[in-house]
Structure 1
């Protein structure tokens, strides 16, 4: 019984290593340039074992998307511990800026995947481009909740139901700003783009009432 449990634990750990490796390698190299052998090497797993857990590269892409979702949920869960929604959003921007060197080299992990997979033109339910879009929508929905909370309870303690700024639109502006600065930082190989544009986003968030 103990040996059986140990085997299951080792198998779970190996699968997790492969998922984490897939997220890193696909971010750095892109889908088309990445091979299963690249991911096996990064995970320090024999390449033959990869096929035991993931039959195709697309399955590994899905695993990478699952990994991005887990990281996003962990980040937003930490941010949710902050009492003020504005502070949560500002902390999100600061977390983005902290990744400026990575963004300058490789771009946004989810955004670059979305751009690459979108060129496949699948567009059907359950396709990879749809699934990567779901990760981005998850972030948009979280951000919209923060803006909605800010809108209903302003810093003056009063309700602001007539505020013309729609929380969903504000969330779109915020996430678009992040994707744009990640793209430009990568294109220009300049992490300072993230720093400067992140500061603009923080000023914008402070200006909202």
Structure 2
């Protein structure tokens, strides 16, 4: 086999693995871990079920892949936000991004938050700790923005902002009311604007 054919096969395998990871993140968010089957993920990724086992041996490996995909999506988002001119604009961009997902949040809640809550109820696997790591990535990024704004206790402010997001996502989902995201998002934007510059 030529080097170009080997390269093409490696690229194809990488693309298929990435499709499976993205599908796992989406399906687990919509159905939850317990109701999701490997066949559901294979179908969403347009991959034959038998091929899934080449990449992921167990459903827990697919759940871990879903968490990795959440971390990857968060990194893409924060990379985009980091291009904004200042921390206030970045924080507001984050909130606006959350609000733009209001319909999805109203139906299924926060992708990482709902998964973390579900995994915390399991006795095995350690996936709950991995979910916590993804949330920690968000908290750390938000804390850096508050620190750059010169705010006292940036870690506490990060918890307040991310906690408000988790709360509004949960309430929007429980009430099946996307407007909760709009109203609470507007409050968060006003709060960020009200923070005094040092």
TM tier, smaller: over 0.9
How far does residue 84 in structure 1 lie from its aligned partner after superposition? 1.2
- What TM-score, normalized to structure 1? 0.91
C-alpha separation in 2, matches of 1:18 and 1:166: 40
Q: Secondary structure at the match of 1:130?
A: helix
C-alpha separation in 2, matches of 1:5 and 1:46: 22
Aligned residues: 194
Alignment of 1:1-209 (within 5 A): 1=2, 2-122=4-124, 127-151=126-150, 165-209=152-196
Note the alpha carbon deviations across 1:152-202, whole angstroms, 9 max, x for none.
xxxxxxxxxxx6x40000000000000000000000100000000000101
How far does residue 132 in structure 1 lie from its aligned partner after superposition? 0.4
How far does residue 15 in structure 1 lie from its aligned partner after superposition? 0.6
How far does residue 9 in structure 1 lie from its aligned partner after superposition? 1.2
Aligned-residue Cα RMSD (Å) equals 1.1
In structure 2, runs of 5+ residues without a counterpart are: none
> Which consecutive aligned stretches of 4+ in structure 1 deviate over 4 angstroms post-superposition?
none
- What TM-score, normalized to structure 2? 0.95
Note the alpha carbon deviations across 1:92-115, whole angstroms, 9 max, x for none.
000000000000011000001000
C-alpha separation in 2, matches of 1:8 and 1:146: 39
C-alpha separation in 2, matches of 1:121 and 1:196: 37
Q: Secondary structure at the match of 1:147?
A: helix
In structure 1, runs of 5+ residues without a counterpart are: 152-162
C-alpha separation in 1, matches of 2:135 and 2:117: 12
